[in-house]
Structure 1
Amino acid sequence: MKTLSVLEPTLLNPLTYDAYLTLVEDLVSEQRTTGEEPTAQQVANTQDNLKRMKQMEKQFLLLPGLRNMLQQHHLNWEWLVLTEAWCGDGAQLVPAIAAIARAVPSIKLTILLRDQNPELMETCLTKGTRSIPKLICMDASTGERLFTWGPRPTIIQNLFLKHRAAHPRMSIEELVQQLHKWYAQDRGLSLQLDLYRLAEQALIRNESCLQAAV
């Protein structure tokens, strides 16, 4: 897997979460969205996504176990998140990721638009597709990629796949509606379980490397 430095100059238009939220708000007011060739449906999705982002900000509860694990280590991590304003999964997940990073000062969060950063996107494809959102965890000291997550929490993805298999005639619109119901019920829990596992593995690997170097 190609490892990119957090200072990679090809990263275009990096945003803080607050700047990204402002961008989405501006796009909604202008009835536009992000992406290379946005469709009318994607513009409509962006309208709904702003509401989803605001709702997740209100409902998200950070798991004490995840917070404590991340806070007690002297991390120097950067989280790069690839997304687009029209992405429904991103609307549910990016606010939760931002809340986690906000609670851990040693994690710097950077939001990147997928279509503006194709080189980075190509390093974290999902079965050959450019599915988003994607979170890339980097060691800011070394530029090493520690883990990649996304585009959907494991538990919710499994629910989605089982539901689609059980209802082969269900339209994509109905499937997406059900997906967002699961997200509303989940409130970011499944995301945190995934990130706890990945972060724990990264920390264990780091400790093993330090011990081997002694």
Structure 2
Amino acid sequence: MTTLDTYYSELVNPMTYQEFKALTEELVAEGKTTGDEQTEQRINFTKLNQQRMKRVEKQFVMEPELIELLTQNELNWNWLILVESWCGDGAQLLPAIAAIAEQTPGITLTVLLRDENPELMNTCLTNGSKSIPKLICEDVESGERLFTWGSRPAAIQQQVLKFKAENPDAGHDELVQQVQLWYAKDRSQALQQDLINIVRGVLTNSTTTAEV
């Protein structure tokens, strides 16, 4: 069995979602962002993301199927999410993930900055890259990593790949704008569908293992 200690020796600057929001507000007020790369672009993204997070919080509605999966099973899970304040995907996904965790008694969410936790980040790369946000689910009792998810819902990523194929000359800014429009239209549905599929698989596997 692979346990927590296998993945990292210590979590640096662990935060609740509310603490991450407070940090973001402080950074916006100071004209800063998380991480060492204090570029104008990332500082502006942090300011935009503050508004995006607020919008997601207001619009988020948890799917009944996901509620049933998470609340009708005896869970004791830690969710760790790696993110940065300048990350556009993170701003769209973190508030929804936080809301899901808050509505599930068996889940505790910890927010971590990617660049402060490179050891952990390196255990869940996406095609060799440090793409975020990245959600890691660990069983509290056994210390086993049950799944990782991210950095983008499958349905949104499919749209990204299709857009790139159909618009090979499109610039990065145009793609970013499109991604944000897709998130706004999706209203956290793609994320929840991904989690429904993953959680169902984890619980089914656990049941099968217990019966053997």
Q: Structure 1-normalised TM-score? A: 0.96
Report whether the alignment pairs 1:183 with 2:183.
yes
The CA distance in 2 between the partners of 1:2 and 1:112, in whole Å, is 21
User: 1:14-53 maps to which residues of 2 (within 5 A)?
Assistant: 14-53=14-53
- Structure 1 165/181 Cα, relative in aligned 2: closer, same or farther at 3 Å? same
| CA deviation after TM superposition for structure 1 residue 171, in Å | 1.2
The CA distance in 1 between the partners of 2:65 and 2:26, in whole Å, is 36
Q: Structure 2-normalised TM-score? A: 0.96
CA RMSD of aligned residues (A): 1.6
User: 1:47-86 maps to which residues of 2 (within 5 A)?
Assistant: 47-86=47-86
The CA distance in 2 between the partners of 1:173 and 1:71, in whole Å, is 40
| CA deviation after TM superposition for structure 1 residue 5, in Å | 4.6
| CA deviation after TM superposition for structure 1 residue 38, in Å | 2.8
Contact 1:133 1:152 (8 Å CA) reproduced: yes
Query: Residue 89 of structure 1 corresponds to which residue in structure 2?
Result: 89
The CA distance in 1 between the partners of 2:77 and 2:159, in whole Å, is 31
- Structure 1 105/133 Cα, relative in aligned 2: closer, same or farther at 3 Å? same
Aligned length: 212
Q: Which moved more, 1:143-152 or 1:162-171?
A: 162-171
The CA distance in 2 between the partners of 1:73 and 1:5, in whole Å, is 26
| CA deviation after TM superposition for structure 1 residue 86, in Å | 0.3
The CA distance in 2 between the partners of 1:111 and 1:181, in whole Å, is 25
Deviations 1:113-165 (A, max 9, x none): 00000000000000000000000010011110000000000000000110111
The CA distance in 1 between the partners of 2:9 and 2:105, in whole Å, is 24
Query: Residue 131 of structure 1 corresponds to which residue in structure 2?
Result: 131
Query: Residue 149 of structure 1 corresponds to which residue in structure 2?
Result: 149
The CA distance in 2 between the partners of 1:137 and 1:171, in whole Å, is 34
Runs of 4+ in 1 over 4 A off after TM superposition: 5-9
Query: Residue 101 of structure 1 corresponds to which residue in structure 2?
Result: 101
Q: Which moved more, 1:81-90 or 1:1-10?
A: 1-10
The CA distance in 1 between the partners of 2:69 and 2:176, in whole Å, is 33
- Structure 1 88/57 Cα, relative in aligned 2: closer, same or farther at 3 Å? same
Contact 1:5 1:144 (8 Å CA) reproduced: no
Report whether the alignment pairs 1:164 with 2:164.
yes
| CA deviation after TM superposition for structure 1 residue 110, in Å | 0.3
Structure 1, unmatched stretches of 5+, are none
User: 1:189-204 maps to which residues of 2 (within 5 A)?
Assistant: 189-204=189-204
Structure 2, unmatched stretches of 5+, are none
Q: Once the two structures are aligned, what percentage of the paired residues are identical?
A: 52
Q: Secondary structure at the match of 2:4?
A: coil
Contact 2:7 2:120 (8 Å CA) reproduced: no
